[in-house]
A and B are shown apart, each in its own frame.
Chain A
Amino acid sequence: MAERKCTQGGQETVLRCEGLCKCYGGLVQANDQVDFELRRGEVHAFLGENGAGKSTLMKMLYGMEQPDSGRIFVHGREQAFRSPADAIAQGIGMVHQELMLIPRLTVMENIILGNEIKTKTGRLRKKEAAQQIQELSQAYGLEADPEALVEKLSIGQRQRVEILKLLYRKADILIFDEPTALLTPQESDALFDVLRRLKDMGKSVLFITHKLREVYQIADRMTVIRGGRIVGVTTPQETDVSGLTRMMVGKTVSRDRRPPHPIGEEPVLAVEGLTVLERNGTRSVDGVSFNLRPGEVLGVAGIEGNGQTQLAQALIGLRKASGSIRLQGRELTGYSPKQIRKLGVGSIPDDRQGMGLILSMRIYENLILNRYEQKPFAKNALLEDWEGVREYAREQIRLFSIAAANESVYVRTLSGGNQQKIVAARELTEARRLLIAAQPTRGVDVASADAIQNLILEAATKGCAVLLISSDLDELIKISDRIMVMFRGQVMGFVEGDAATREGLGRMMLGETAEETPRLQ
């Protein structure tokens, strides 16, 4: 990338939008007079906090939503997309954060789905399709076996299949929505190689992210959006990290490690040989043991799907597990989630929309999901005090600075960051002894992430023990006292927060034991 010049002037504009506005019911302007342009053969990073309007703009460019006003031009011609199909027809493709592949089908079947080559009688011409895919994957250096089942592939490989799918549909404008969210550092590097090759082949890449590090690795130009408005267009050469951060959040955020703080002696939580058996007989959590002391933040690193989710679910009683879980000496195995929560355990689940919230209900309802039948929310078994609940919700909205018109707004209409603040607000008030926080800042903008991290640290300072499961290594290093690395359900080792490095953690996440890294316990 270094030797490629970034010829800014005179390059052809492939995608342009003018004065795009989008407003969601009862909420602030999600996009306000957005102008944006993407050129041929560039990697353009689109930066912004969640809730800043990134996703809204992408949805409009990809036809998933229609702007209230403004115009979109593709190759100089004005377009009004009514659906993604319209956008695809114009050569726009999108790689979503959650990959949209069918696990039970092969790579080839996934790629040709919807664009099958058929004989006159309607039979599939698989050979021809496979050959075309081979040619594409060679041309772009995207290795993929057309006959492999998608469910057998790693996340990184699946992402490559997604890209092939777009290329197969002759997309020349590729939108990537936070593509590195689920990747290891090593896989991210591989992805960036692919992006560079796409660029060299004359494709245009629009790369949505809030990870600043990546922007400097890959982007030719970047556009920053804040509060629905474009703040500026710049290049990595012109603006440094702190300048870019300021553009994104409007104020400087601390990126330092947490200050030292007291940690108790007696462990709050003692886990011994915890094992979770899956239906297919595999062990998603395999003999995990650790101690957690009051005030301590224990980070859990690992590529997604290595048992972290199941570990959290076992700890909160959602999953049967063997082994021992002791909370202040009390054995918890066999307890129901309700009983465990009563002991002062809060849990932020990693699947925010699926398990953390009820999107089709209102903010004040979501804030009391775990305590709706307790005082003061319920006057008695027969009467819920809705006026009191709403009052409480208004207070929480202020306290956690949740951006919402009022407490009766449906949670579905909120941005990711604000949704997560609702989960955090609910769980933190319950977590007196132990907080299990899984991916608490995923898909959350910088300022909200910072706020949520501070809330977690505040709880720790008050003596709550925190188990922080995260795939964001920077976050783990920033706020953990110790980091436990998991691989295939097992603990690969513990690393002191001070001594942890991205590279070291990354290696352990891929299955190396902590030999070079300092070990504890």
Chain B
Amino acid sequence: MNKSRLRLSLFSLALALVLFGFTICLTGKDPLSVYWAILVGSFGSLKGFLNVLAYMLPLIMTGLGAAVAFQSGVFNIGGEGQVLVGGLASVIVGLLSPLPAPWGYLVALAAGFLAGALWALLPTLLAGRNLASLSVATIMMNSIAALFTEYIVKQFFQREGASNTETVVVNEGSILPRFFPSTQFNYGIFIAIFCVVLVTWFLYKTPCGFSLRAMGNNARAMEQAGLPIYRRTLLAMCISGGLFALGGSIQCLAVYKRFVMGFSPGYGWDGITVATLAANSPVGVLLSAFLFGMLRSASISMSLSNAVTTEMISVLQGLIVILVASPGTWTVLDNLFYRAKEGIKARFIKGGKEGAAPWKN
């Protein structure tokens, strides 16, 4: 990752924590004790830590999906839809396939990836060569995915006697195993780590990955250099859509073992946040997914203990994204700092010494 970009992410994170502290104060709570609670909740017990890891898993996958798209300069904001479709496809295959583990869940995961890729391909084909309409097309596919999965489940796979829209539990061999029955942390971690390594290698070591990154930095230059831009856009969308979908697949196959309507609290959207904080670096995604996993885990335990509500944690997420996405903030702060320094100097060091540059200290 670029050094200055890394600094931007870290500064934004720090400032977001400070601003969030003020917000907590406004609600009449003590920010330090809230932060302490988050830390204790995440690292204080093995169970807490495993919970964080469990919440991290889908975020790694969706973060990777967003990172691949953004590095290629393709604005895939249909991640949420791809998560849903991927989850459903995996569950359907898991219901139908008689394969034993591990083949059962591997095939189901592959089906999820494929479904996500196809779901991402569709708006790309519809938008054609017009990249501006691509983001609109992908975003619209989110609502379609929500209704489409609901329809499919209700029509063909609805579990009888269930009040929710949900399927029955998938076949034994297609369940992605958990490490411990008491936590949701599961074998998905192997898939996630494997994907981080694979995506890193793809983006930075292969000719094709290079062409995608180059396209993301300047598509016009790559077009002029002979790259088939449209075909590469389709490829980037497929990979991105597939990775997003795996987030849904892991969640469905390991945590719920079935498809439950509304299982995703917005993994697709959080993936965009995760990737943004990570500056679209796959390894960075791992770290920032962990951070967001902490927050999500904390938000649930905290709202249980009534200290800070779940919505408050969304505020923190929002602050981080706004600050990372607006590097202008830092220019403004830098200028303010400079002016303040100059003001103090002008007041206390009268006239300025001869030969001393005003901006040199």
Contacts and interface: CB of A to CB of B under 8 A. Distances in A.
Interface of A: 66-71, 78, 80, 82-83, 316, 318, 336-338, 340-341, 347, 349, 351, 354-361, 365, 369-370, 372-373, 377-378, 381-384, 386
B338 A358 contact: no
B214 interface: yes
Given A358-B214, A369-B214, A69 B360 contact: yes
A369 B222 contact: yes
Given A336-B226, A336-B228, A71 B357 contact: yes
Given A356-B221, A372-B211, A381-B208, 5 more contacts: A80-B359, A82-B338, A338-B226, A338-B228, A357-B218
B182 interface: no
B358 to A, nearest CB: 5
B226 A384 contact: no
Among A341, A359, A382, the one with the most B-chain Cβ atoms within 10 Å of its Cβ is A382
7 contacts: A69-B357, A347-B224, A351-B220, A355-B218, A359-B218, A372-B214, A378-B207
A340 B224 CA distance: 11
The 8 closest A-B pairs by CB, nearest first: A338-B226, A369-B225, A373-B207, A370-B225, A358-B218, A378-B207, A337-B226, A341-B226
Given A369-B214, A372-B210, A384-B206, A355 B221 contact: yes
Contacts of A382: 205-206
Contacts of A78: 352, 358
B207 A384 contact: yes
Contacts of B218: 354-355, 357-360
A415 to B, nearest CB: 19
B100 to A, nearest CB: 32
B359 A361 contact: no
Contacts of B338: 82
Interface in B207-234: 207-208, 210-211, 213-214, 217-218, 220-228
B30 interface: no
Nearest to B213: A361
A425 B222 CA distance: 16
A361 B217 contact: yes
B208 A370 contact: no
A442 B338 CA distance: 37
Contacts of A355: 218, 220-221, 223-224
B303 interface: no
Among B206, B207, B210, B360, the one with the most A-chain Cβ atoms within 10 Å of its Cβ is B207
B314 interface: no
Interface string B130-142: 0000000000000
Contacts of A67: 357, 359
A386 B214 CA distance: 15
A336 B224 CA distance: 10
Interface residues of B, number: 28
Contacts of B206: 381-384
A358 B221 contact: yes
Interface of B: 205-208, 210-211, 213-214, 217-218, 220-228, 335, 338-339, 342, 352, 357-360
B210 A370 contact: no
Nearest to A69: B357
Contacts of A349: 224
Contacts of B222: 358, 369
Contacts of A336: 226, 228
Contacts of A347: 224
Nearest to A389: B210
Contacts of B226: 336-338, 340-341, 370
A356 B359 contact: no
Contacts of A386: 205
A356 B210 contact: no
Contacts of A341: 225-226
A347 B226 CA distance: 10
A373 B223 contact: no
B353 to A, nearest CB: 12
Given A80-B358, A373-B208, A383-B206, A338 B227 contact: yes
A316 B224 contact: yes
A318 B220 CA distance: 10
A358 B217 contact: yes
Among A318, A351, A358, A361, the one with the most B-chain Cβ atoms within 10 Å of its Cβ is A358
Among A66, A347, A365, A369, the one with the most B-chain Cβ atoms within 10 Å of its Cβ is A369
Contacts of A378: 207
Contacts of A66: 359
Given A372-B207, A372-B210, A318 B217 contact: no
Contacts of B223: 318, 337, 355
Contacts of B220: 351, 354-355
A475 to B, nearest CB: 22
Nearest to A338: B226
B217 A360 contact: yes
A347 B221 CA distance: 11
A516 to B, nearest CB: 38
Nearest to B334: A82
Contact of A80 (B224, B228, B342): B342
B210 A365 contact: yes
A16 to B, nearest CB: 15
A97 to B, nearest CB: 20
Contact of A361 (B214, B225, B352, B360): B214
A373 B212 CA distance: 12
A332 to B, nearest CB: 14
A435 to B, nearest CB: 14
Contacts of A361: 213-214, 217
Nearest to A380: B207
A180 B358 CA distance: 36
A359 B221 CA distance: 10
A384 B224 contact: no
A67 B359 CA distance: 8
Nearest to B360: A69
B224 A356 contact: yes
Contact of A357 (B213, B221, B352): B221
Given A338-B226, A355-B220, A369-B214, A70 B357 contact: yes
A347 B224 CA distance: 8
A337 B228 CA distance: 8
